[in-house]
Every structure is written in structure tokens, then in C-alpha cells.
């Protein structure tokens, strides 16, 4: 292991550092300036700028790469200052404080009297106090005079300007309390001492998730820059620029950094993505391709434009914008035309394609309805959404809860993958319960044992996502998510544990995740699509196990965890 990796992943130092690296670290700690005392089993990165007046670094704590530490800084035990953190002024941290990458704790301020320029104003310092067992996410700013109580969690990108009581989960600019952390259902209260082998294992798994998330955040900006060719985004270096690559970059940046990708301003991202939409059809073609010609009912049947309804629409949504034009074919389609289209989809031999079409149509309906609710656009033809759900509810197989037919060649692959796409855009996106959820769980767990798709070395992002999401969606509907009392919960948890343990090591430093093997998708080379999908998969798996809080992120785009649209009340048409 080289010194660069230890600087960026200092939690590896205790177990993996060589004797020479340990000796160098002792020398590094002795060379710190000011009145400095460093505890046992600590690490201070060689690239960190540590120039304190007074420093007390508690046992088992670390200061990672490119951190900037000045002033009077005291930490308890097990504290982490992750890459590019800034800790300045008078700062006191309790035990078990985790500070995410690019976060600033600024325990000083300038006066602002009008009698002299700001740069000549004297400094003031009330100091910042952080309690025990506190998690401060990436890109957070904590200003002087703030106190953060024990067991708090501060979401990525927050600006903390006021005191936070103990157990507060807060986010936003300015940060505001969202809930009490103790209201997280049956998840173990943070800071509680594990009382059994199982609980110690769960705590260790939570630490692994947190370490993974910290690594991903620290490397996110570089990963995105790697896939920028100077003008547009590519899935991976050497690939052709695509619309989806730009959207994946926006999703990754929102998830890990809480901001737009740094290669363009947020306004430039919006202008580029919104400018791709054809004003007449409302569709977004691939770069260099003509606008697809709608079929007789006004909508398209296949091609990149279908997925761009999702990817571009949600990228704009994450950037605080929306499509400038409605999707005309969906806006004008009648219930009769929709039912005819549904009847003609390839349910027998292409259930994935059928589900993908419904996903795109329902998502376009969501964007159109939202435009209409905001006073823009013409809404939709009366009865089309009712026709969609009526057709789906009456055609679901009561034995599996799904649509489509399995095959001897691929088993239930098309059916399960099509189920994910179909329910994502229709039932999940609009907050409507799926039919026959117990039968869905049965069918999905049976499919997840198929060695053709889930044998060693054969799992890809599409296939794992298309099992994880139905289990998560149905488990939440059945009330058994993250617990042992839900329908087939032990089997679901065992599958999720296995998949999570396999997924985390697939991260490639500085490059992200590869999609995985198979004839569909971009392949095993790490890139934006694989990274975007596996980040969402890891959240779903962790949430199935009750551990997603450890990641510090929650999908808000294509793979969002909450409905995007409510049909109650329906906007007037």
C-alpha cells in the first residue's frame, strides 16, 4: 500500500501500514507545530496542512489528505477529519465524530463595522462545540458560535448557523431539523454499546458503509472530471459522449456532493440539458441523431429517447429545473390509444422492453402533469392514467404479481427486470400500492437463485437492481422492511447481506463502479453508468438491512426512494 492511498484512506493505516510507514508517521506527528499532542493509533496525512496553535488529537483519530487545520483544536477518541476538510479557529469535538470530505468548521469570524474594509476588521471567535457520536456530512459549513449536540447527523451540503439539539437530523441551507434520530424505527440508537455478536456485526457493517461512502465522496469530483472530455461527458475515458453520461454525472454529484458537477455551473448544466429537448415532440434524441419520428399514437416505441424521458427529466429536477416543453405524444394520447399500445407490447418474449416503455410513458405523464399543475402546458387527455392502472391491475398474474412470460433460455430475467422498470415509473413514482406483493417477493427470490444471472462473476448492476428494488418496494408496502417480522424477511436480509458484501469491494479508486458482465450495458469497465447504478443499489441493499443512514446519502433522481407525484388530488383537466 502506497502513502497516497493511506493519506486518502487513513482508516487502513492501523492494519495495513508497513513498519517503514509507521516510523514515518511517528516522525510526522513529532514534527507538528504549535502545542500538539497526538494520541495512540492516530494518523496525520503527509499532505494535510496542520498548523495549530494548540492541537489535542484523541486516540484512534485521523486527519486525512489535504485537510487544513489551524487554531485551537481538540478532538475526543475515534474522530475523523476526512479529505479536504477545513477545521479552523477554536474547535472542540467529542468522541466518535465523523466529518465528511470538503466540510468546513470555521470557529472564527470577521467584524463587519462600516468604518474600515473587511480585510482590516478584527477577528472574533466564539468557537464551535460538537458532541459525541456526531456525523457531519460532506460539503457542510458550520459557522462560528454553533453547538452541535450529541448523536446529531448533519446532511451533506448543509450550512449550520444555529445550535442543534442532541439527536437532531438536519439538512439544508440554512440547516433545519428534519427529525429526531431516535425515531428511525427499529434501527439501533447510535452510540449504544453492542450487546451481542449480531449487534457488533451490524455496527461493523455500518462502519464499512460509512467508510465506503466517505471514500466515494472524497473521490467523486475526480471521478466526474475523469469522464469530462473538455466539452461533454463520456461514460468512461475514450467512450463517445452521450446524453445519459451527462445525466449520470448530475445524479452522482447530487448524491455524493450535494451540488452540480463542477465542470459547468448549475445554470450551464440546465441550459445544456433543457436545450436538448425537441420543442415539437418533447423528446430528447441522442447526440448526433435526429429526433425520433412518433408512431401513429404520437409516442415512440424504442430507442434512447425513451430513457431520456427519465434521465434528462430527473437530472433537470435535481438541478432545480424541468423540461421546458411537454411530451406531446403522452399529453395527447387517448385512453383507447394507450390500451391498444399496452396490448401490443411484447409481453411474451420481451417483458423488459414492455416494462421500459411503460416506465417512460408514465414518467412523461409525471412531467406533463407537473407542468400543468404549475400552470404551464395542457395536462393530459382525461382517463389515460386511469386506463393505465386499470389495465395493469387487471392483467397482473395473481401467481407472481408480475406481467409477461418466463422463458426456458432466460428464466424470469425479462419478467423481473421488466417488473422493476414498469413499477418504478408507474406504481412507485405515483405512490400507488403494487398488486400481490407477497407473490412478487416469492417470484423475485426464486429468480435471485438463478445461477445464470446470479452465479459467481455473473451479476451486473441491472440484474441486481431489478431484484433489490422490488424486494424493497414490496417489503415497505408489507411493513416488514429492515425487520425480522416481515414476509420472508430472513431470506431477503440474507440476500441483501450477500449482495452488499460483494458490491462494496467492486469500487475502483478514482474510477467508481463498472456496470458488470453481460451483453447489455456498458460492460465491466468503471464508468458513470455503473457508478450511478451501484450507488443506488448499495443504498437499497443497506435500507433493506436498516443501515442506509450510515451512507449519508439518499437517492433523489431516477432511483429516488419517495414517490415523485401524488394522484390525490388530480389536477383539473
CA distance 546 to 560: 17
Cis check for the bond before 167: say yes or no (omega within 30 of 0).
Answer: no
Instruction: Evaluate whether 376 touches 385 at the Cβ level (below 8 Å).
Output: no
Tell me, what's the pLDDT at 119? Answer: 79
Taking the CA atoms of 524, 528, 531 and 534 in sequence, report the sign of the dihedral they define. negative
Kindly give the parts of the chain with pLDDT less than 70: 183-206, 373-378, 480-485, 566-573
**Distance separating alpha carbons of residues 35 and 55, to the nearest angstrom:** 6
Tens of pLDDT, residue by residue over 235-273, are 999 999 999 999 999 999 999 999 999 999 999 999 999
- Backbone torsions φ then ψ of 492, nearest 5 degrees: -65, -45
Q: To which H or E segment does residue 106 belong?
A: strand 104-107
pLDDT of residue 499: 95
**Please, are residues 188 and 196 in contact by the beta-carbon 8 Å criterion?**
no
d(C-alpha 418, C-alpha 404), whole Å: 8
Per-residue pLDDT at 567? 60
Alpha-carbon distance 252 to 557, whole Å? 10
The contacts of residue 207 (CB under 8 Å, 6+ apart) are: 550
Q: Can you tell me whether residue 517 is helix, strand or coil?
A: coil
- Phi then psi for residue 407, to 5 deg, are -135, 160
Whole-angstrom CA distances from 27 to 13, 38, 295 are 15, 12, 72
Q: Per the structure block, which three cell numbers stand in for 187?
A: 434501527
User: Cβ(448)–Cβ(467) under 8 Å?
Assistant: yes
* Beta bridge partners of residue 154, listed in sequence order: 136, 170
Find out whether 44 and 63 touch, Cβ atoms under 8 Å: yes
pLDDT at 457: 79
pLDDT at residue 193, as a whole number: 36
Beta bridge partner(s), residue 385: none
Largest Cα–Cα distance in the chain? 83
| pLDDT recorded at residue 112 | 74
Grouping H, G, I as helix, E, B as strand and the rest as coil, residue 294 is coil
**Distant-in-sequence, close-in-space partners of 100: CB < 8 Å, separation ≥ 6:** 82, 85, 135, 136, 137, 138, 139, 140, 156, 214, 217, 552
Q: Of how many residues is the chain composed?
A: 573
Q: Which cell is 309 given? A: 424521458
CB 387 within 8 A of CB 339: yes
Q: What are phi and psi of 488, to 5 degrees?
A: 55, 30
Give me the domains of the chain, ranges plus CATH numbers: 3-183 (2.160.10.10), 202-551 (1.50.10)
DSSP conformational letter for 427: I
Amino acid at each position: 500500500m502506497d502513502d497516497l492511498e493511506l493519506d486518502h484512506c487513513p482508516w487502513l493505516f492501523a492494519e495495513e501500514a508497513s513498519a517503514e510507514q509507521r516510523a514515518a508517521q511517528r516522525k510526522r506527528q513529532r514534527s507538528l507545530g504549535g502545542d500538539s499532542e497526538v494520541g495512540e493509533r492516530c494518523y496525520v496525512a503527509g499532505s494535510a496542512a496542520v498548523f495549530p496553535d494548540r492541537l489535542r488529537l484523541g486516540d484512534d483519530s485521523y486527519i486525512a489528505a489535504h485537510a487544513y487545520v489551524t487554531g485551537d483544536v481538540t478532538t475526543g477518541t475515534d474522530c475523523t477529519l476526512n479529505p479536504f476538510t477545513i477545521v479552523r479557529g477554536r474547535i472542540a469535538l467529542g468522541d466518535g465524530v465523523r466529518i465528511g470530505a470538503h466540510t468546513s468548521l470555521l470557529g472564527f469570524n470577521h467584524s463587519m463595522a462600516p468604518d474600515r474594509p473587511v480585510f482590516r476588521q478584527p477577528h472574533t471567535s466564539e468557537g464551535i462545540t460538537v458532541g459525541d457520536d456526531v456525523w457531519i456530512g460532506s460539503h457542510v459549513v458550520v459557522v462560528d458560535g454553533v453547538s452541535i449536540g450529541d448523536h446529531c447527523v448533519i446532511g451533506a451540503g448543509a450550512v449550520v448557523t444555529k445550535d442543534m439539539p442532541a439527536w437532531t437530523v438536519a439538512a439544508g441551507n440554512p440547516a433545519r431539523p428534519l427529525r429526531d434520530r431516535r425515531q428511525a424505527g427499529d434501527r439501533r440508537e447510535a452510540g449504544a454499546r453492542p450487546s451481542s455478536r449480531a449487534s457488533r456485526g451490524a455496527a461493523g457493517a455500518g462502519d464499512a458503509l460509512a467508510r465506503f461512502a466517505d471514500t466515494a465522496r472524497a473521490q467523486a469530483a475526480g471521478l466526474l472530471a475523469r469522464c469530462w472530455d473538455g466539452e461533454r461527458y463520456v461514460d468512461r475515458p475514450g467512450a463517445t459522449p452521450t446524453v445519459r453520461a451527462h445525466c449520470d454525472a448530475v445524479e452522482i454529484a447530487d448524491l455524493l456532493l450535494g451540488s452540480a458537477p463542477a465542470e459547468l455551473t448549475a445554470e450551464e448544466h440546465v441550459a445544456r440539458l433543457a436545450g436538448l429537448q425537441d420543442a415539437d415532440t418533447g423528446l430528447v434524441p441522442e447526440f448526433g441523431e435526429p429526433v425520433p419520428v412518433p408512431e401513429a399514437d404520437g409516442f415512440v416505441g424504442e430507442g434512447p429517447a425513451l430513457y431520456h424521458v427519465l434521465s434528462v427529466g430527473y437530472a433537470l429536477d435535481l438541478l432545480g429545473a424541468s423540461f421546458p416543453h411537454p411530451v406531446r405524444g403522452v399529453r395527447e394520447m387517448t385512453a383507447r390509444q394507450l390500451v391498444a399500445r399496452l396490448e401490443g407490447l411484447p409481453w411474451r418474449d420481451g417483458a423488459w422492453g414492455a416494462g421500459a416503455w411503460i416506465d417512460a410513458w408514465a414518467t412523461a405523464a409525471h412531467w406533463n402533469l407537473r407542468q400543468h399543475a404549475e400552470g404551464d402546458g395542457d395536462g393530459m387527455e382525461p382517463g389515460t392514467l386511469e386506463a393505465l392502472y386499470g389495465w395493469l391491475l387487471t392483467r397482473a398474474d395473481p401467481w407472481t404479481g408480475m406481467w409477461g412470460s418466463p422463458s426456458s433460455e432466460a428464466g424470469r430475467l425479462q419478467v423481473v427486470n421488466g417488473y422493476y422498470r414498469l413499477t418504478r415509473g408507474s406504481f412507485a413514482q405515483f405512490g400507488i400500492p403494487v398488486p400481490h406483493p407477497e407473490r412478487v417477493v416469492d417470484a423475485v427470490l426464486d429468480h435471485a437463485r438463478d445461477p445464470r444471472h446470479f452465479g459467481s462473476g455473473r451479476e451486473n448492476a441491472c440484474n441486481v437492481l431489478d431484484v433489490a428494488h422490488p424486494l424493497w418496494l414490496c417489503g415497505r408496502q408489507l411493513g416488514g422492511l429492515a425487520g425480522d417480522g416481515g414476509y420472508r424477511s430472513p431470506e431477503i436480509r440474507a440476500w441483501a447481506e450477500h449482495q452488499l458484501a460483494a458490491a462494496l469491494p467492486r469500487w475502483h479508486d478514482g474510477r467508481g463502479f463498472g456496470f458488470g458482465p453481460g451483453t447489455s450495458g456498458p460492460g465491466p469497465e468503471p464508468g458513470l453508468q455503473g457508478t450511478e447504478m451501484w450507488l443506488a443499489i448499495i443504498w437499497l441493499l443497506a435500507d433493506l438491512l436498516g443501515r442506509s443512514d450510515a451512507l449519508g446519502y439518499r437517492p433523489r433522481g431516477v432511483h429516488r426512494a419517495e414517490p415523485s407525484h401524488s394522484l390525490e388530488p388530480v389536477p383539473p383537466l
